Structure formats: C-alpha cells, structure tokens
Amino acid sequence: MNKLNVLVAGSTGYIGVQLVKLLCKHKYIKIKYLCGNSSIGKKIYSYDKDLKKYNLPKIIKINYNYFKNVDVIFTALPNGQSQIIANNLYKKNILIDLSADFRIKKVNIYKKFYKIKHKSKKLLNESVYGLPELNEKNIKDKRIIACPGCYPTSIIVPLFPLFNGNFLKKEKVIIDSKSGYSGAGRSILKEAKKMNLFSSLKAYGIPNHRHNAEINQELSLLSKKINFNFTPHILPMFRGILSTIYVEKNKSNISIEKILDFLKKFYKKQKFVRIHKKNSQIGTKDVINTNYCDISVCETNDKNSLIILSAIDNLIKGGAGQAIQNLNIKFGFKIDEGLN
C-alpha cells in the first residue's frame, strides 16, 4: 500500500511532538510537512532528541496550498485555528483535530465555554466526536475527526457503558481528576515559578472548566438528567491522568462483579481498554507512554456507592495516540499500527 502523506500543524507543542514521534513509527505514513508559528526554520528534534534519528522536514509556516499534496492533516493548534484550516480543505483531505474546535456540536455552547465565535459552522455536520471505542462506525464515514479532550476521555470511557446499562444513578456523580502539567501545554512553564508548579498540587477551572461542555454533551446522549460535578487538578509530574469518579448504584443489590462483567463484555473487542479486578487501586504508572485506558471499580464503606478509577496518558490516549487510533479506523489499518 502507498503511504499517506501527512501535514502536522502545531507540531512543536507537547501533543504535537508526541504525535510526530508516533507517526514516525507508523508504516503507512510519510510526514511531508511540519508546521508551526514561533519555530519556523527549526528542526523538530530541538524539541525532542529522540526525533534526531528520523529524516524529518524543517518546521515551516502553514500554507493552504500544501493541502493539495497531502491526504491527512493533523492539527494540534490553539482553539479556533482548526476551524480556519477546515474551511480551506480540499475534497481529498481528512482532518484529524486535537483541539476543541469540532468537539462541541452546538455553536452557542462552544462560544460560551471557549469565548470564540465558530467560523466553520457548516462543517460541524461533517465532523464526528472521535472517541474510537464508542464511535468507530461514524469515524469511518466522516472527513473531520474531533479527538476528545484528555479529561473527558478518562471520564466518558468508564461512565458511558455503565449509564447505558442502567447501573448507576444519574443524580450524583462526582469526578475528581488529576493531571500532569503537560496537559496545560508549554505555556504553563511561564507560570511555573509563580504557581510553584513542580512541588504543589492545584485545583483549577471551578466551576466551569471547558471540558464540562464535552462531558455533558456525550453523557447527555444517554440521558438529559445526568448531573455531575467535575474538578480538575494539576500535579507536579509531567504526564498522566487519574480520574476518581464517585457514583451510586441504581439498585443496592447490583454486585460489583456484575458491573465488571458488563464492562469487560462491552469493551471485549477494544484493545486499548483494560478492565482490572475489583478494588484494584490503579494509578498512572502502567499507562504512561501507552495508548491504554485502565479502569478499576472499587467498593466503599457504603454498600450503595462505588468508586471508579480511570487512568490514561494524557499525551497519548488523551491526545496523539487517540488521533492515530482514529487514523487507523478511518483508513482500515490495524488498530494498533504505530501504537505498540
């Protein structure tokens, strides 16, 4: 099979660099263009020495004429910029976007949470929320794939099947998520000293973190009545997310074994979701540098309550790895191509 020609826009951010590293290992991909704004003329390996062994192009300013020469455009850009790129696509192009620009289907909600007027409303119908384990069929059919945010990935993957199976009460869901600082992008380093970033824990985004819109949109596909409180935190580590989700069982006699069995069956064919034994106190250690989402369901001292733990690498399963998973689905490659 001929290789797909790829352009990566926003190639020097944390997710952009991670994406380039994974694409270099994908046997059906040729990276034709690396684009950036503040790094024009630089080599990508100046951001990660591991990339020095690959013959990669220098970083250049994006030019829409380049789109004629590529099959796939990956965008890891600040919110708002992928909309403009989408408006300049050719019919042959597939856009895989790692920003929030096409995740939110209602433009008024997008504007409320992101403070940006949407510039590509007509293309929202040509986009799909690209959570691979839940939207595989639609991913195959759409030309714009909106990769989910990192926190929502860690939250929706465990909760969606359990609400779908009517195992949980919809009134009381508390989500406590903790992430490495890479989830905030390189710009956070400018605030590192003021925040005491490398030796403190910080809650932020209360009460209206942007990812509330995304979580609500996807869980609302099951019920309009799911009420949740979501609080994110930044940890003094580089990568990884652990979401601790407090839920109540719909009926007190539902056993944890039945819930785990349901999850295992639901994700039986999904390589990158791993369901652990009950009461497993999982963390980020086993998912760092992988595309896995690890899930554990734990009992509490209240027989009606459960704690769900969900761990991912925010730069891979919550970002670049999920983007490549979507690429593999779209073009019929093995699901783990480039991700082993």
Catalytic residue list: 150
Tokens of 255: 């056993």
CA-angle at 211, arms to 193 and 147, nearest 5°: 105
Query: Per residue, what are the HEC states of the chain?
Result: CCCEEEEEECCCCHHHHHHHHHHCCCCCEEEEEEECCCCCCCCHHHCCHHHHHCCCCCEECCCHHHHHHCCEEEECCCCCHHHHHHCCCCCCCEEEECCCCCCCCCHHHHHHHHCCCCCCHHHHHHEEECCHHHHHHHHHHCCEEECCCHHHHHHHHHHHHHHHCCCECCCCEEEEEEEEHHHHCHHHHHHHHHHCHHHCCEECCCCCCCHHHHHHHHHCCCCCCCCEEEEEEEECCCCCEEEEEEEEECCCCCCHHHHHHHHHHHCCCCCCEEECCCCCCCCCCCCCCCCCEEEEEEECCCCCEEEEEEEECCCHHHHHHHHHHHHHHHHCCCCCCCCC
Give me the amino acid identity at 334. Answer: K
**Residues 6+ positions from 331 with CB-CB distance below 8 Å:** 4, 28
How far is the first Cα of the chain from the last one, in angstroms, to the nearest whole number? 20
- Four-point Cα dihedral 285, 289, 291, 292, nearest 10: -10
- The encoded tokens of residue 124 equal 């929202």
